[in-house]
Amino acid sequence: MFLFTLFMVPSCRVLIDNLQAALDAQFDSQARTASHSYVKYNNWNTVKSRIYHIITLNPDLVSRSVIGKTYEGRPMYLLKLGKNGANKKAIFMDCGFHAREWISPAFCQWFVKEAVETYGKDSVMTTLLDKLDFYVLPVVNIDGYVYTWTNDRMWRKTRSKNAGTTCIGTDPNRNFDAGWCTLGASDYPCSSTYCGSAPESEKETKALADFIREHLSTIKAYLTIHSYSQLLLFPYSYTYNFISHLMCSYSFPVKLCLISSPTDPAAGGSDDWAYDQGIKYSFTFELRDTGRYGFLLPESQIKPTCEETFLAVKYIANYVLEHLY
Ligand SMILES: [Zn+2]
C-alpha cells in the first residue's frame, strides 16, 4: 500500500512510501499487554479505566468532572490536578483534538502520572500542585479517537453528520470563533479541515469553550497538544498581521527559539480563541516527529517525547506561577 503524503506548500515530497509498514511499525513497544501502559498507545476504554484508577489512588490530588458529551454521546472527562486551596489559579491543557495524533493523548496520560508521582518528591512539581490547579482534558475528540482504533487510523475530524452530504465530521481545531473559516480552513464538509457549519457547531468544542468561559477568572494558561512537527506555536495563526510562530529547537526547556511569521495559517484554532479570551499564555505544541513517521510515531518514542514535553510544560507552568499578577 503506497501513500504519497503532501507536506506543507509549496513543494511536495514523499515522506512515507509504505503506509502499511509504518502502521505495523508503530506498535514496537515491549509492553504488549492488553492492560494500560504509559509506553504504548491505549484505546479509549483503557484510558478511561486508567483515569478512574489514578483518581482512586490519589483522591487528594486528582478529581474528575464531566464537561459535556461528544456527538456520539461519550462523556468528556476533565481531570483536575492540585492540592485543595483557596483562590487557586489554573492551567488548562488538552490532548486529542485530532484523532490520529495518538502521541497527544499519550502525553496527557503521562503528564497526570508524572505529576502525581513526583508530587512531594520534586520541589518544582510540589510547588506547582500546591499553588496551581491543572485542568487536563485527556481526549477532546473521543469519537474520532475511537474511530482511529476501529476503522481508520488516519481519521482526523469529529464524527458528526453534516447536512446535505455523506461526508462526516468537522475539524475541531478549525471550529473556534477566532477568524473562523477565513484562512487555512475549508467550508467543504468533505475536507479534512472543514470548519463546521458555525463556530462551536461541534459538541466537543462547545463543551471545551463553555468550560473555559466559565473559568476565565482562574485559567491563566492554555496548552493544547498536537502532533506532528516539533514546534511550539503561539497566537495568532489566523492572521499574518502579527508576529506569530515561535519555532524552537526541540531541546526543552525552551532555549533556542526563532520568531517567524506563520508558515501554515489556520483560522478557528483553540489557541487563538483562548488568547482572544484574555489567556495570555496560550500555546500549541506540535510533538514528534518531523515527518519520518508522522502520525504513526512508534511506541518506542512515547517515553522520550513525553519526557521532553513534560519538561516544557513544567517550565511554562512555573513561569506562569511566577508571573501571576
Ligand atoms: Zn492536530
pLDDT in tens, 128-181: 999 999 999 999 999 999 999 999 999 999 999 999 999 999 999 999 999 999
The residue count for the chain: 325
Ligand 1 centroid vs 278 CA: distance in angstroms?
23
Q: Which residues pair with 284 in a beta bridge?
A: 224, 233
Over the chain, what is the mean pLDDT? 89
Give residue 191 CA to ligand 1 midpoint distance, Å: 15
Residue 113 in contact with residue 38, Cβ under 8 Å?
yes
On whether the CB atoms of residues 291 and 15 are closer than 8 A, the answer is yes
CA distances in angstroms from 206 to 31, 90, 185, 305, listed in the order given: 37, 20, 18, 30
Question: Please, which pLDDT band fits residue 28 given cuts at 50, 70 and 90?
Answer: confident
At residue 9 the predicted structure's pLDDT band, cuts being 50, 70 and 90, is very low
Q: Determine which one of 286, 299, 307, 322 is catalytic.
A: 286
* CA pair distance 159, 15, nearest whole angstrom: 27
Residue 295 CA to residue 99 CA, distance in Å, equals 10
Task: Map grid coordinates 508503530 to a residue.
Answer: 26
Residue 286 among the catalytic residues: yes
DSSP 57-85: H-TTTEEEEEEEE-TT--EEEEEEES---
Ligand 1 centre distance from Cα of residue 240 (Å): 20
Distance, CA 306 to ligand 1 centroid (Å)?
A: 16
Q: How far is the CA of 247 from the centre of ligand 1 (A)?
A: 17
Q: Please determine, for residue 1, whether its predicted confidence score (pLDDT) is greater than 50.
A: no
Q: Which amino acid is at 145?
A: Y
- What is the C-alpha separation between 59 and 155, in angstroms, rounded? 35
CA diameter of the chain:
57
Q: Which three cell numbers stand for residue 98?
A: 485530532
Q: Residues of 268-296 as b/e, b for ≥16 C-beta within 10 angstroms?
A: bbbbbbbbbbebebbbbbbbbbeeebbbb
Can you say whether the dihedral through the CA atoms of 167, 168, 173, 176 is positive or negative?
Answer: positive
For 54-63, how does the pLDDT look when each residue is reduced to its tens digit (9 = 90+)?
999 999 999 9
In terms of Cα–Cα distance, which of 250, 238, 325 is closest to 286? 250
In degrees and rounded to multiples of 5, residue 156 shows phi and psi of: -120, -40
Q: How far apart are CA 82 and CA 67, in angstroms?
A: 18
pLDDT given at position 264: 67
Pairing of strands 132-137, 245-248: unpaired
Task: Report the percent of the chain where pLDDT is more than 90.
Answer: 76
Domains (ranges, CATH) in the chain?
19-27+37-322 (3.40.630.10)
Is 227 within 8 Å of 287 (Cβ atoms)? yes
- C-alpha grid cell for residue 26? 508503530
Which residues are paired to 75 by β-bridges? 69
Read off φ and ψ for residue 168, nearest 5 degrees: -105, 145
